[in-house]
């Protein structure tokens, strides 16, 4: 094949891929977390906003207590951003709801400090 033809095919595939990714990103929706229905969301991806009430660092695992309407436990596995967190910071957390020893908690996948 000529280089010109290969270039056109690569360009078309790239644009098609970007269009598909854009479409998928508009369809995906993450639920806002509601403390009173956390047990109904076990296994779901959720979004949580609140203030950091307590930080417990155990090496490569960090436990956060996030204060919202109620206190929520959040677990972070070895994340560089967790060392920058301070008590009183307002954060937005994306994660998955899990049940551990009969208690519901959020396993954080992404944390963002809101200023």
pLDDT digits (tens, 9 = 90+) for 60-97: 888 888 887 778 888 888 666 556 788 888 888 888 88
Does the residue 7 lie in any domain? Answer: no
Does the residue 13 lie in any domain? Answer: no
The helix/strand/coil state of 77 is strand
pLDDT (0 to 100) of residue 35: 58
Q: How many domains does the chain have?
A: 1
pLDDT (0 to 100) of residue 31: 64
State which of 34-38, 57-61, 79-83 shows the largest mean pLDDT: 57-61
Does the residue 105 lie in any domain? Answer: yes
Does the residue 24 lie in any domain? Answer: no
Residue 109 has pLDDT above 60, yes or no: yes
52 touches 45 (CB < 8 A):
no
Instruction: Specify the DSSP class assigned to residue 87.
Output: T
Residue 33 has pLDDT above 80, yes or no: no
Q: What is the CATH number of the domain that holds 63?
A: 2.40.50.140
Domain span at residue 84 reads 31-114
Does the residue 80 lie in any domain? Answer: yes
Does the residue 6 lie in any domain? Answer: no
105 touches 112 (CB < 8 A):
no
41: confidence class by pLDDT, cuts 50, 70, 90: low
Residue 18 has pLDDT above 90, yes or no: yes
Does the residue 25 lie in any domain? Answer: no
Does the residue 9 lie in any domain? Answer: no
């Amino acid at each position: 094949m000529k280089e010109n033809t290969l270039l056109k095919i690569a360009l078309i595939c790239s644009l098609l891929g970007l269009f598909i990714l854009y479409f998928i990103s508009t369809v995906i929706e993450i639920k806002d977390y509601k403390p009173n229905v956390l047990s109904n969301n076990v296994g779901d991806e959720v979004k949580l906003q609140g203030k950091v009430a307590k930080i417990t660092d155990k090496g490569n695992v960090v436990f956060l207590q996030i204060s919202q309407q109620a206190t929520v436990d959040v677990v972070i596995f070895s994340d560089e951003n967790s060392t920058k967190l301070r008590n009183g910071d307002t954060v937005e957390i994306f994660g998955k709801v899990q049940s551990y020893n009969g208690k519901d908690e959020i396993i954080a996948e992404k944390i963002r400090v809101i200023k």
